[in-house]
Homo-oligomer: A and B are copies of this chain.
């Protein structure tokens, strides 16, 4: 088994991903939010890149006990959407039984891109252990696709990649890794007692602090609290 980490989805092309198991990470906050929504009874998530397409898709979608639209740009809820991108908004009362049409700055683009892989899971710190087990069990080479921020390296995603890689190695034993995987693992191991200082300079961290969403960060940094592993099926996440 080989583990390769991509700093942003723009760095991973279809031929890199073909035949592999992909784990998409957008720690702050898309993959944390989607894992939480599914854990709280959301039936399926439809990732959409364009906000108008999202509203159109929500109108025409059937097959659940209603549709919820969720999304943000630069941390702020999109106009006309039901919910933003805070995992704390996606409680059972809001989301159980419903479909979620989701549009975010980086995460939904990353998920769309990763769909070139054989299997696609969504990972975060909340489900680090569970997603690592799924990926390890696939027996395939693993591509960790970080969402990044505005197509740039974002250390919050890299820290979460390190957490997931540490658990993959614990489950599956030593793996061949590329240099960014090894560096992510080292950064995580060196900082896991308190990840805040490591990631506090990242753009999404600073944006959320500026918006008064420190609670979201605290929640997204909780490790292994969810056993839900979001998985792509066709164009949807279940």
Q: Show the binding face of A for B, using Cβ within 8 Å.
A: 7, 149, 152-155, 158, 177-180, 182-183, 186-187, 190, 198, 201-203
Contacts and interface: CB of A to CB of B under 8 A. Distances in A.
A38 to B, nearest CB: 29
Nearest to A181: B201
8 interchain residue pairs of minimum CB distance = A153-B180, A182-B201, A155-B183, A155-B179, A179-B202, A154-B179, A190-B190, A153-B179
Contacts of A179: 149, 152-155, 201-203
Contacts of A152: 178-180
7 contacts: A152-B179, A155-B183, A179-B202, A179-B203, A182-B201, A186-B198, A190-B190
Contacts of A186: 187, 198
A200 to B, nearest CB: 9
Scoring A154, A198, A201, A203 by chain B CB atoms within 10 A of each residue's CB, the highest score goes to: A201
Nearest to A205: B179
A154 to B, nearest CB: 6
Contacts of A158: 183
Nearest to A5: B153
A178 B198 CA distance: 13
Contacts of A202: 179
Nearest to A159: B183
